[in-house]
Amino acid sequence: MNFQDIKSYAENCIRDYPPPCACACPFVLDVRAFIDRVAKGKYSGALRLYSDAVLFPGTVSRLCPAYCGDFCVRGGFDSSVDIRLIERGVLENVKRAEPVRYAIPPKNTRVAVIGAGLSGLSCAYRLAGKGYIVTVFEASGNIGGAAVKSLPEGIADADFQSAFKYIGYELRLNERIKDINEVHHNFDAIYVSTGKEGNDFGLLPSWNSKTLTSSMQGVFAGGSLTDCPPIWSIENGLRAASSIEEFLKTGRNDGVGLLYDRPPVNDKFYEIKYDFHAPAPADVSYIDEAKRCPMCNCSLCIDACPLMEYYKTNPKRIAADLGVTVLPVEGKIKHVASRMLNSCNLCGLCDAVCPAGVETFAAMFESRRMMSDSGNIPAAFHDFWLADMQFSFSDSAYAVIGPESAGSGLLFFPGCQLAASSPHAAEAAYKYIKSIRPDASMMLSCCGIPAAWAAESDMLAQCTEKIRAEWLKLGCPDVLFACSSCMQNFEQYLPEIKGRLVYEWLALNDGELCYPNYIRDSLDSGDSAADLSGACVFDPCSSRTNEAGRTAVRRLAEKSGFSLSELDLSGPKAACCGFGGHIYPANPSLLSKVINERTYAAESTYITYCANCRDFFLHEGKDSLHILDILFAAEVRVKLPGFSERRQNRAALKERFTGVLSKPRVPAVTLDIPDAILKKMNGLLLLNEDAEDIVARSELTGAKLINPDNDRFTAYGKSLSVTIWVEYEMHSKTQAVLHNIYSHRMNIKPGTRGEPHVAGIPDESGLICAKCRIPLEKTETKFEYLKHEFSHAIPKCPICDRAYISEELVLGKMLEVETMLEDK
């Protein structure tokens, strides 16, 4: 996609497109809005909407053959909605049918209408209502034409009186125009609607059926003169009014045909599954009939996508927002959708459920790439996960465990997250594979998907090239993936590497597999049978097109003793657990919503085959088991590790297979971190070593603040794109307790050393600079974030410039400013 493609990607979206019934209606009546008002008892509003569209409601409701009924989507289920019954019900029950009165200034432009039938009156109504001076010539002594003679007495007259109650025009009855030249020189435009077999004044041979224009400048024709049925005659009058007004404004006599292109019936509406109510009884009221209407609007992607629901948006609005956001005009616009496009899980469910083939996923992904290429994605949105990916490729964690012989016929790729949270399962699975296939190898690495999600093209290329090179060295083996996202990423960026999910292979090669009697063993430990025997397989979003893999996981789970039921969002409609796209730093509230919806979609245990899914559910307290833990792990119920422990697990897994010890990390100061603080660090995406480094550096340099009331120190330092603040207490020279930690994204710009400080205001924090041994003073300080600079008074040491920012300020004004700048 390019910039123009992103702007136009939703052109085929049928959200808010006129439903088939409206497209078939001569007036393109907004049927959805009309029916909605009727169903809610808003009859005056319904009548106003109907009257604005058809002009003469009583007449149309009786003469119209209901063209809409032939296209009603309900017709294929039981019977089409009877719109005429609803229209008449409104007319009979409305309490106020008074037309709206508008004060329109008159125009000094004259229009003649020849013929006072339905078409002529419609044209006269529309033009006179806009202030044009309209004169209607009628050869007979009555208005309405032949069509209204079949109606009950008074119906048509009541319509005409109501329509023209506040709209003035000149009516000349019993005045037949024999030669159009009689009026041509006295009027600026003419509409000829003389009725069936009426005088066409020689216009029909040059008549344009779309614009209703003729070869005679400023002269138009339509209605039953051109063989239109009564309802289409009214439509002709309205269309002629548009052509005449265009002519009067611009002098163009072609009517600008594109103005009159009607929306075609979109067959995609018939592919949507509607929740039809039971067939209505024969003697149904108009209100009941209105409730039978399915309203025919597509919301499949909105219903499936938490992001669209969260932002109250749809593909058409997303297209507009993305188009503005990626517009390559530096400094001229706001990137209005920056946070939204970084809040997308990139799971593609919206595309999977779309009946019109709209590719919202591609638009989101390409927009993110364009924003990344232009340097307009805040680094904090993705840098933690990119650093985690780089750790997987580092000497500490990366390894290729080869077969004893030269070549490998099979390569096991457990993925970085399974190795991080269930290294024992990855290890046991590989040993089982190797027991059957001695030529099997294993690659401990990341597939590179964090770089793909962050739209870091160069970094992604480096990752995939390293994997490709190793694969070639191994002899181009087939790959067994433990993670369907890894498999999907290989298919997109390493298509020459073929593989399948390891679960397919296990289901076909389970002769030596000792299926655990998991239910029995769990009952022995005191668990409830009701809680354990029933389970749902949670399909990761990346497995949506992999039926073989999904089936294999279910077979393995059932052989392990589980009785399975299905989630609504599973199989081809598998939904993201929330991990996809790494949206947490950009939109934690949306992620919380996604996880909550997925976690409580069912009460039973979840069986997953994606480590990220399992870990997210465990974090929410959901009973969740990875299928490899069930098959191979001695302890099925995995304790969720923190981010630092996850890295340690990957390093330890490599060491167990290679015997090569990674360079041990020996911090200068060892931290005792309480569980509550550890949980907070995981929420902030901070590592233990981040805090250790800051404490060690502050102890070495003396760059710290002290609270004399409790002898606790406060220090700060940078890690990746965030500034981290720690509050700690030293127990010895090499041992400390961490009491608090928090972080912010904006940078504190250092003061200019050597210049005297402006006298500050004494600070009330009570902190003292540990190095200079003097209290802090509030000093105007410069901050920088996303190329914006601003200043704010914060406590500082007046001598060494050591700053202090409270957690209250970080979570208050600073977070507000950071969010505002990120949204730009």
pLDDT in the model for residue 355:
92
Taking only the tens place, the pLDDT of each residue in 536-592 is 999 999 999 999 999 999 999 999 889 999 999 999 999 999 999 999 999 999 999
pLDDT value at 284 more than 80: no
Average pLDDT of the residues in 355-381: 92
819 — pLDDT class (breaks 50, 70, 90): very high
**Interhelix angle 360-373/457-473, nearest 10 degrees:** 100
pLDDT of residue 682: 93
The pLDDT of residue 2: 74
pLDDT recorded at residue 753: 42
pLDDT above 70 covers a percentage of the chain that reads 93
How confident is the model at residue 259, as a pLDDT? 62
Q: Residue 350: which pLDDT band, with cuts at 50, 70 and 90?
A: very high
* Residue 268: band (very low, low, confident or very high) from pLDDT cuts 50, 70, 90: very high
User: 96-105, 362-371, 378-387, 527-536 — which is least confidently predicted?
Assistant: 527-536
Q: What is the mean pLDDT of residues 427-452?
A: 96
Give the residue-averaged pLDDT of 35-63.
94
**Lowest mean pLDDT, pick from 54-68, 724-738, 790-804:** 790-804
| Other C-beta atoms lying within 10 Å of the C-beta of residue 675 | 8
| Residue 759 Cα to chain centre, angstroms | 51
Q: Check pLDDT > 80 for residue 20.
A: yes
pLDDT, residue 523, reads: 46
Of 320-334, 416-430, 662-676, 760-774, where does the model show the most confidence?
Answer: 416-430
Rounded mean pLDDT, 759-783: 85
The chain-wide mean pLDDT, for the chain, equals 90
Encode pLDDT of 69-128 as tens digits.
999 999 988 889 999 999 999 999 887 677 877 778 889 999 999 999 999 999 999 999
pLDDT of residue 531: 53
* pLDDT value for 382: 95
The predicted-structure confidence for 529-538, as pLDDT tens digits, reads as follows: 445 568 999 9
pLDDT at 261 (0 to 100) = 77
Helices assigned H by DSSP within 437-526: 449-453, 457-473, 484-493, 502-508, 518-524
Q: Of 759, 339, 385, 256, which Cα lies nearest the Cα of 590? A: 339
Angle between helix 643-658 and helix 383-392 axes, rounded to 10 deg: 10
Q: What is the DSSP secondary structure assignment for residue 117, as one 8-state letter?
A: B
The per-residue pLDDT for 752 is 46
Confidence tier at 278 by pLDDT (50, 70, 90) = low
Tokens of 344: 């997308």
What pLDDT does 610 receive? 96
Which tokens hold the place of 687? 């590592």
pLDDT per position as a tens digit, 390-406: 999 999 999 999 876 66
Predicted confidence band of residue 33 (pLDDT cuts 50, 70, 90): very high
Lowest average pLDDT, out of 291-300, 324-333, 505-514, goes to 324-333
- Residues with Cβ < 8 Å from 729, sequence gap 6 or more? 710, 711, 712, 713, 736, 737, 739
The pLDDT tens digits for 131-150 are: 999 999 999 999 999 999 99
Residues 161-193: pLDDT tens digits? 999 999 999 999 999 999 999 898 899 999 999
Helical packing angle, 611-619 and 588-599, nearest 10°: 90
272 exposed, middle or buried (CB, 10 Å; 0-12, 13-18, 19+)? middle
Do the Cβ atoms of 426 and 482 come closer than 8 Å?
Answer: yes
For residue 264, CA distances in Å to 67, 230, 354, 443, 800 come to 14, 22, 19, 55, 73
Contact criterion met (CB below 8 Å) for 79 and 279: yes
DSSP H or E segment with residue 172: strand 170-172
Per-residue pLDDT tens over the stretch 607-636: 999 999 999 999 999 999 999 999 987 566
What average pLDDT does range 340-346 have in this prediction?
A: 95
Quote the pLDDT of residue 255.
Answer: 67
| pLDDT for 159 beyond 80 | yes
**Residues β-bridged to residue 719:** 722
Determine the average pLDDT of the residues in 734-748: 96
**Residue spans of beta strands (DSSP E) within 609-760:** 624-626, 670-672, 705-707, 712-719, 722-730, 735-744, 747-748
Amino acid at 185: H
Task: Please report, for the chain, how many H helices and E strands are present, in that order.
Answer: 35, 24
pLDDT band, residue 311 (cuts 50/70/90): very high
List beta partners, residue 443.
Answer: 400
> Could you tell me what percent of the chain has a pLDDT over 90?
77
* pLDDT greater than 50 at residue 754: no
- Residue tagged 């190795």 (tokens): 419
Whether the predicted pLDDT of 525 surpasses 60: no
- Cα separations (Å) of 43 from 39, 373, 511? 9, 54, 71
Residue 465's pLDDT band (cuts 50, 70, 90): very high
Q: How far is CA 762 from CA 703, 767, 768, 779, in A?
A: 20, 11, 11, 9
